[in-house]
Amino acid sequence: MLSDDLLELQRLDTTADQLTNRRARLPEREPAAAAVEALASARRRAAEIERRDGELTEAIASLERDGEALTTQRTRLQAQLKTVIAPRAAEALMHELETLRARRDELDDQELAHLEEQSALEDERSAINGREPELVAAADAAGSQLRAAEGAIDAELATVRADRAALAARLDAGVLAQYERLRQRMGGVAVATLDGKRCRGCHLDLSASELDQVRATPAGELSDCPQCGRLLVP
């Protein structure tokens, strides 16, 4: 019977919609996403540490080259100082030597700061590397739980969709097209039944004359709700 087929089609579509919504809101989805993000965050931080460590290594090498240049310059000035007789010239050389000493102290402080930062980064990197197996295991476990839950719903959906396809194949193409249009317009519910004088689709009461008209619809033909336009099954 056409009305029974349409009601069954609506039931199957509603079930499929509910399963799809349930799949999107699985409680396993949030912990799985959190576990994946925790692992990704740790790996991003490890990459940042690697990048920063490289920058520090280059900076330390540059400071050491600068320090070697200062040492060479200081050696040269000290040699000149031994040969200078004029007090003003000696005073100027001593001032340059003092400036070089201050600059070398500054370079040493910078290099020490870089080395301390590298040491802290190495400790952090070791901690991240130590935690990675745990993070990988947690992400794998949460992912497995999510996939299992999705698989169970997917199996239900496959059965519902197969039943739906078999039923839709029996329906007239024009009726099926009308049904699909109404489903799009009516939030997924194209077919409703009467509950007394109330349409269960829009929950509005039909007048006595409207009820008579719906109930007088010949078998094999369709009526619709005069309030919402859904296909109405008495």
Residue 40 sits in the same domain as residue 152: yes
Spatial separation of the C-alpha atoms in residues 153 and 163, rounded to whole Å: 15
Spatial separation of the C-alpha atoms in residues 99 and 93, rounded to whole Å: 10
Residue where a domain stops, chosen among 171, 203, 220: 171
Nearest to 150 by CA among 36, 26, 15, 35: 26
Residue 73 sits in the same domain as residue 33: yes
Label residue 41 by pLDDT band (50, 70, 90): very high
**The predicted structure's pLDDT at residue 64:** 96
**The predicted structure's pLDDT at residue 234:** 76
Query: If 0-12 CB within 10 Å is exposed, 13-18 middle and 19+ buried, where does residue 232 land?
Result: buried
Label residue 129 by pLDDT band (50, 70, 90): very high
Residue 152 sits in the same domain as residue 184: no
Give me the CATH number covering residue 139: 1.10.287.1490
Nearest to 222 by CA among 188, 185, 184, 171: 171
Residue 150 sits in the same domain as residue 228: no
**The predicted structure's pLDDT at residue 217:** 79
Q: Stretch 206-225: mean pLDDT, rounded?
A: 83
User: DSSP letter string over 53-102?
Assistant: HHHHHHHHHHHHHHHHHHHHHHHHHHHHHHH--SHHHHHHHHHHHHHHHH
Residue 137 sits in the same domain as residue 51: yes
Spatial separation of the C-alpha atoms in residues 216 and 210, rounded to whole Å: 10
If one counts the domains in the chain, the total is 2
> If residue 191 lies in a helix (H) or strand (E), which one and from where to where?
strand 191-195
**The predicted structure's pLDDT at residue 149:** 97
Label residue 223 by pLDDT band (50, 70, 90): confident
| Structural domain span for residue 192 | 175-233
Residue 6 sits in the same domain as residue 103: yes
pLDDT score of 193 more than 90:
no
Read off the pTM.
Answer: 0.74
Residue where a domain stops, chosen among 122, 150, 171: 171
